[in-house]
Amino acid sequence: MMPSVMRKTPPPENSEAELLALEREYCSFGDTVHYLEHPKIFERCEGSFLYDAAGTPFFDLQMWYSACNLGYANPQVNQAVKNQLDKLPQIASQYLHREKIELAAKLAQGIEKRFGEKGRIHFNVGGSQAVEDSLKLVRNFKGGKSLVFAFEGGYHGRTLGASAITSSYRYRRRFGHFDRAHFIPFPYHFRGAPKGMSKEEYGLHCVKSFERLFETEYYGVWDAKAKECEYAAFYIEPIQGTGGYVIPPKNYFTELKKVLDKYGILLVCDEIQMGFYRTGKLFSIEHFGVKPDIIIFGKALTNGLNPLSGVWAREALINPEIFPPGSTHSTFASNPLGTAAGLETLKILESGDYENLVMKKGAYFLEGLKDLQKRFKIIGDVDGLGMALRVEICGADGFTPDKEMTDRIVDEAMKGDIKIAGKNYGLVLDIGGYYKNVITLAPALTIGYEEIDLALNLLAEVFRRAAR
């Protein structure tokens, strides 16, 4: 007879109501969960979908703010992490491992191929931390100069240094000062251009108003005698992320770069949200034909599987003499699970013709959004570059931002009760924009055309419900 095994009964799982009660008591409200009145608990994810406890699929059109470009639980990236778990899951950051070296080399070589510039990679854990590292690189290279330009509507993270160069005072208000950036208007044509001005004309117009700052010392940034600018760098997101997926005029950055070069200002490109083929390029700045001095990346590098971020800087800013050992450090920077996930993600992106695919699928999705704009008066603007798409919700004049309507759309989407072909769906949407009235769409790059049709049908239904 087999010996009887004492089986422990597993403790009963907390019900959803119990979990929410525990959360209310023990989780800090300082993150963004309680932006929603009724935070939602999800149980499972796959491809473009999150599933709640009842098994209702929620079509995710924001993919963890563009961190999961290759779909949730991507089997290939998951497998790479499982393999790494069995091989070398942990190692202190003063030692080397193969995946870190190969990932850094792949990224630096990819950047060199695209921009013709040799550089190096420094890894960290989250986007904000990589932004902090970039600030060190800038200050170090520019002899301690700590001021930078950044954009109105820009977002670079919530650590102290990153929120100082992020436009919202809301993120800084209670935490003291840390060299706040000088915020420059982004060329947001839909909201900012005078009537009748084309996108290109507006691009030029915006660069001219920035360049005016250098006309005389009395505008506060330029010492004409010393020929020196008080500002070390300009921090940009080529396509604004949290700012509402705002796509600048094609000529804007080439013209801006001429001004930066003229006055000795570094160009730092934050690709944390738009990187890794979100816009059909490895980095979105490639659409605009300029060469940054520093590129910052995170999120989709690991398909959102394990935190990893980093900066690339050109050799002059990051060579071992100018940025020697110990210049910065974090225990979990270049962690092996993250670098293994990153390597696999790059492998998939390189082998999949994403440049083409993303542009095609993005154009198809955008056409669908344009059709919706014709059907629903609440849509003031739609736009997109690759699979970074925007729907701006406005009042009857097609321009006045309608935040309340936008909130209603997101609430309807979260109910999970939209019936399509006899099945209930929900929609996961993210709100961005200067007036919190832009639905920023970042679907999985792996999405199929039928799925895009489904997403458009779901969007149509939430627009219909919210607008009635």
CB 250 within 8 A of CB 288: yes
Distances 227 to 98, 193, 214, 263 between C-alpha atoms, Å: 46, 32, 10, 8
Distances 132 to 123, 158, 180, 260 between C-alpha atoms, Å: 12, 10, 14, 22
CB 300 within 8 A of CB 276: yes
Smaller CB separation from ligand PMP, 67 or 447: 67
Stretch that binds ligand PMP, among 16-24, 32-40, 268-276, 406-414 (CB under 6 A): 268-276
- At a CB cut-off of 8 Å and minimum separation 6, what does 382 contact? 366, 369, 370, 372, 373, 389, 390, 391, 392
Smaller CB separation from ligand PMP, 155 or 190: 155
For helices 354-375 and 449-467, the axis angle rounded to 10 degrees is 30
CB 269 within 8 A of CB 305: no
Residue 342 near ligand PMP by CB under 6 A: no
Residue 255 near ligand PMP by CB under 6 A: no
Residue 184 near ligand PMP by CB under 6 A: no
Residue 244 near ligand PMP by CB under 6 A: no
Distances 180 to 147, 160, 166, 354 between C-alpha atoms, Å: 7, 10, 8, 37
Q: Retrieve residue 6's tokens.
A: 């004492």
Residue 127 near ligand PMP by CB under 6 A: yes
Q: Taking the CB of residue 172, how many other CB atoms lie within 10 A of it? A: 17
Q: Retrieve residue 246's tokens.
A: 């705002």
Please state the closest distance from residue 129 (CB atom) to ligand PMP, in A.
7
C-alpha span between 243 and 351 (Å, rounded): 32
Handedness of CA 358, 356, 446, 312 (dihedral sign): negative
Among 60, 237, 383, 461, binds ligand PMP (CB under 6 A): 237
Residue with tokens 């080439």: 254
CB 68 within 8 A of CB 304: yes
Residue 132 near ligand PMP by CB under 6 A: no
Please state the closest distance from residue 156 (CB atom) to ligand PMP, in A.
5
Smaller CB separation from ligand PMP, 70 or 131: 131
Stretch that binds ligand PMP, among 8-16, 75-83, 126-134, 450-458 (CB under 6 A): 126-134
Among 48, 56, 69, 128, binds ligand PMP (CB under 6 A): 128
Please state the closest distance from residue 131 (CB atom) to ligand PMP, in A.
6
Q: Taking the CB of residue 89, how many other CB atoms lie within 10 A of it? A: 12
Which residues are bridge partners to 145 per DSSP? Answer: none
Side chain identity at 243, as an amino acid letter? G
Stretch that binds ligand PMP, among 71-79, 269-277, 281-289, 416-424 (CB under 6 A): 269-277
Please state the closest distance from residue 401 (CB atom) to ligand PMP, in A.
21
Residue 157 near ligand PMP by CB under 6 A: yes
Residue 155 near ligand PMP by CB under 6 A: yes
Stretch that binds ligand PMP, among 152-160, 199-207, 213-221, 370-378 (CB under 6 A): 152-160
Please state the closest distance from residue 298 (CB atom) to ligand PMP, in A.
5
Residue 381 near ligand PMP by CB under 6 A: no
Please state the closest distance from residue 308 (CB atom) to ligand PMP, in A.
10
Distances 82 to 125, 291, 441 between C-alpha atoms, Å: 19, 37, 30
Smaller CB separation from ligand PMP, 60 or 270: 270
Stretch that binds ligand PMP, among 99-107, 124-132, 335-343, 374-382 (CB under 6 A): 124-132
Q: Taking the CB of residue 438, how many other CB atoms lie within 10 A of it? A: 29
Among 60, 99, 132, 270, binds ligand PMP (CB under 6 A): 270
Side chain identity at 306, as an amino acid letter? N
Kindly state the number of chain residues that form the binding site for ligand PMP, as judged by CB under 6 A.
Answer: 15
Smaller CB separation from ligand PMP, 157 or 384: 157
Among 56, 74, 273, 437, binds ligand PMP (CB under 6 A): 273
Please state the closest distance from residue 69 (CB atom) to ligand PMP, in A.
13
Stretch that binds ligand PMP, among 190-198, 237-245, 396-404, 410-418 (CB under 6 A): 237-245
Binding residues for ligand PMP (CB under 6 A): 65, 126-128, 131, 155-157, 237, 241-242, 270, 272-273, 298
